[in-house]
Every structure is written in C-alpha cells, then in structure tokens.
Amino acid sequence: MTDFSYARGAAVLTIDLGAVQANWRSLRDRLHGAACGAVLKADAYGLGAARIAQALAAAGCRHFVTAHLDEAIALRPHVPAAAEVFVLHGPPPGLAAEFLAHDLTPVLNSLSQIEAWTTLAREEARRLPAVLQVDTGMSRLGLSPAELVRLAEEPSRLEGVAVRAVMSHLACAERPDHPMNAAQLARFATLRRQLPAAPASLAASSGIFLGPDYHFDIVRPGSALYGIAPVAGQPNPLRQAVRLDAPIQQTRRIAAGESVGYGATWHAPAPARIATVPAGYADGYLRSLGNRAHGYVGGIAVPLVGMVSMDMATFDVSAVPEAALGPDASIELIGPHQTLDALAQRAGTIGYEILTSLGSRYQRRYLDAPAAAPTTSSKQDVFA
C-alpha cells in the first residue's frame, strides 16, 4: 500500500527534493574550497529541471549546467539572478546572441565557436564570459591539442573572451584505479598552461570521489544528485531520490504451462497468479527487463514474467498473500527494495539510462518542496 492515489490510472513517480538537496550538500562537503555546481541537462535527468533547480538554489547552489541552449533558456527563470548557467555544447551557429539575451555562459569547444563568440564581443564592444573546454582523452567535445597550439601561436583569437574557467571531462572516473584518470589529470594540467590563467573544472559526479587533486575550483555533479552510485563496486553514500510505484490494474490466475506476454517467452511452471501494471517501455521501463527484473509488493519480491509491452508489464504475484492484492495494491518498480542502479543492472544498462528514460505519462509527486529561491538584481562573481 502507498500513501497516494492511483485515481488517474497511471504509475506514480515520486521525486524526493529533500534527498536531492542532501546529496548536493554531501558532495559539497567533500570539497576543500571548490564550488559545487549541478548538472541539470536532459530536464534534470528527466526529473524536472525547474523543480530540481529551485530545490538546489534553496540549498545554496549557484552554478548550473545544461547541455543545450534551449534547456538553459528554459532553466534561467528558475535560478537566482546571481547564479551562472553554463551550456556545455556552446553556441549553435548563428545563435551566439541568444546567450546574451538570456544571461547564459557558453562552453566553447572549437575554434569556430571561439570565433563566433569573439565576433559578438566586437559587436558588443566588450569582453564576454565563456568557459573553454579542452579534450584530455574523451575524443568528444573540446579543443584539441592542435587547436590549443594555434591559440597559443595566435593569442588574438581569444581577444574579447573573458575566460570564466577551463574545463575537461573524465572518461573513467567511476573506476578509481583506471589509469585513464591520472593520465587525463596530467594532460589537463599541461593543456591549461597553454591558455589564459583561469579557474578550472574537471570532476563531475564520480570525479569528486577521486580526491582533492581532481576538484580544482568547481565540480559538476549530475547523476550523483539523483542517487546514482558514483563509484563502481562500492557502497552508495548517496540518498535515493526517486521511487516508482505502479498500480495493479488486473490479476488473473493461469494454469501450469500457460504463457504470458508477446512472443510467449514465459510459461508458468505451476498454477500462477499474474498481475498487470501500467508501465512499459514507452514509460522508460525498458523492454530488456523482460523475464529478468523483479518488483516488490509489501517487501515480497515478485518476478517480472514475459516481455515488457509498450504500456504494460506483468508480474508473478503468486507468493503474495491474497489480502495484499486489494483494489489499492501496487508494485514497487524502483524504491527502497530496488535502486535505480540495481534495476539498470538487470536491464544490462546504467542508472543514467533508466533515469533519463522515465516517461512523461507517470503521475509525478514531489516531496519536500523547497522554499522560493533567493534572488538578487546583479550578478556576483560566483568563482570568488
């Protein structure tokens, strides 16, 4: 039984804002002078960027990160005016002016993005803030070593750029013993010296747990805020921020040998009682979970049987007492008995994919709504 209504017939996704705040504070307290930001890309990993941002601002966060320009534009009204909003993908072609219009700071990843930004700076007759990203081994976004050589040889390319920070991204931070971590740290130190002196940022969620050498001036946690384990194979020090419960729409008894679901991939080994819930792969309850996952009813594990459908999943609830399967009965899909990481392992993926796949059809319930975020009329130097 749960303490909310299934009157609308959909599963309920509960988002614990207090847990998100507690996780941010826990990460902040691991730092030694560095600022703790928050990555809210992909609508705060699917949990609602506006609500998450307000909660984190109330906890004291003043550095927010998105991936795309439109994400940042939507986020800006929900964070304090004194906060800085960074856009990891930088200015799309022809849209650099949008960053000024919405008080956003781009991350510049290429010489072409730098050129667009300096062109705008000349038009504005002032230096414009930006972050420079260098590629230290991800081979993804960021200035390459060859591009950094060109910048060093032609420093005028950066005229008009007020460098807020130099950043990079770790490839293997969730595995502390991986040699890539130390290699990227050393490469980051080398590449930074080819750029104007500025604050630095290297660590995201898992990188925080590599220790102070990786913290620099600002860290950028994302998944850890929402309770995903930051270090592979170690106990999770963070609070779970998400719970997913699905109402039992119907139960039926089937005979031994009868099949369940598309493809008839599961046959009852004995007479069984099957419960159907309104959560399927269209809701981010992944198809790969078929015949592999479990749900929980009153703490009793109930196996998912058959394939996951677009809108439904089926569970063998034969072990659950009849009295626990009344009209208000539900199955816990994510929660205290099964974390995001545990469900992801059963699906053959990572907690990030489960979290960002959770669909829009769920009823959403936010716990511990924060007070209104403080605002100020002028921007302060958040790196001070």
Task: Pick out the residues of the known binding site for substrate.
Answer: 140, 310
CB atoms within 10 A of CB 115: 13
Q: Which of 41, 281, 362, 366 is catalytic?
A: 41
Could you give the CA distance from residue 343 to residue 293 in angstroms, rounded to a whole number? 7
Q: Which of 6, 45, 214, 262 is catalytic?
A: 262
* CA 333 to each of CA 19, 202, 290, 302, 338: distance values in angstroms, whole numbers, following the listed order: 19, 35, 13, 10, 7
C-beta of residue 15 within 8 angstroms of C-beta of residue 366: yes
Instruction: State the pairing for strand pair 218-219/35-36.
Output: parallel
**Signed CA dihedral, 20, 25, 30, 33: sign only:** positive
Comparing CA positions, the residue from 59, 43, 15, 20 lying closest to residue 224 is 20
Residues facing residue 302 across a β-bridge: 295
C-beta of residue 174 within 8 angstroms of C-beta of residue 206: yes
- Which residues are annotated binding-site positions? 140, 310
Cβ-based burial of 287 (10 A; exposed 0-12, middle 13-18, buried ≥19): middle
* CA 247 to each of CA 284, 308, 323, 343, 352: distance values in angstroms, whole numbers, following the listed order: 16, 16, 15, 19, 25
In the residue annotation, 379 being an active-site residue is answered as no
Active site residues: 41, 262
